[in-house]
Amino acid sequence: QQQVKQSPQSLIVQKGGISIINCAYENTAFDYFPWYQQFPGKGPALLIAIRPDVSEKKEGRFTISFNKSAKQFSLHIMDSQPGDSATYFCARARAGSYQLTFGKGTKLSVIP
Amino acid sequence: NAGVTQTPKFQVLKTGQSMTLQCAQDMNHEYMSWYRQDPGMGLRLIHYSVGAGITDQGEVPNGYNVSRSTTEDFPLRLLSAAPSQTSVYFCASSYGGNNDGYTFGSGTRLTVV
């Protein structure tokens, strides 16, 4: 089973700082890379997604950067806020596939 | 608009018991999936369905059965519960598969003793 390797496992960032979460994948036959955000006691919710034909996608304070040659993609959270404290999952899927494979998650804590 | 509704929220089972985790969505989504979430393991796909009457296995299907008789409902059955099935179970649905992202339910926390 192809995996998505996510790092770090946990991350502590000061309020106003930049949070960076990285994911690496092994196979290039994927073309959908979403990020999900999960608060305690809740289900994951789609945050932002990217396809490998673009190198970057930005939505508000959240940016995905995609490096196809390195087989890596990253989530950047600018001006991190305590309300961003959650677990973040990267994932990948083939075009037209219904099977999302998730990374193991990163627990982000933003401290005041 | 309720989205994806899972019941029960919590359940304790004894080894060998069977039960059904319920999942219902009111968004007319064709695609539905079941995931389990374990500490440090992320979310792993158990079974999925691309429409009524069509189901398929995911990454960790052993010990679980599903059926999809209607678009709205996608129950997950544990045939003979084992302690290894202690987990948080999430149901998710999507209108257009991965293109539109999945909407997850709030989960069922299952403990098998």
CB contact under 8 A, B104 and A100: no
**CA angle, residues B99, A104, B98, in degrees to nearest 5:** 5
The Cα A110–Cα A15 span in angstroms is 6
Counting as low any pLDDT under 50, the low residues of chain B are: none
A69's CB contacts (< 8 A; 6+ apart) are none
Could you identify the residue written with the tokens 């691309």?
Answer: B50
Q: Please answer whether residues B30 and B89 qualify as being in contact, where contact means their C-beta atoms are separated by less than 8 angstroms.
A: no
Average pLDDT in chain A: 90
Alpha-carbon radius of gyration of chain B: 13
Per DSSP, the three-state class of B98 is helix
Nearest CB neighbour to B33, from listed A49, A98, A104 = A98
Confidence of residue A73 (pLDDT cuts 50, 70, 90): very high
pLDDT digits (tens, 9 = 90+) for A48-62: 988 878 889 999 999
pLDDT digits (tens, 9 = 90+) for A6-64: 999 999 999 999 999 999 988 767 678 899 999 999 999 999 988 878 889 999 999 99
Phi-psi region of A39 (alpha: psi -120 to 50; beta: other; left: phi over 0): beta
Q: What is chain A's length?
A: 112
Per DSSP, the three-state class of B83 is helix
Alpha-carbon distance B103 to nearest alpha carbon in chain A (angstroms)? 7
Residues 6-65 of A with CB under 8 A from B: 6, 9, 32, 34, 41-46, 49
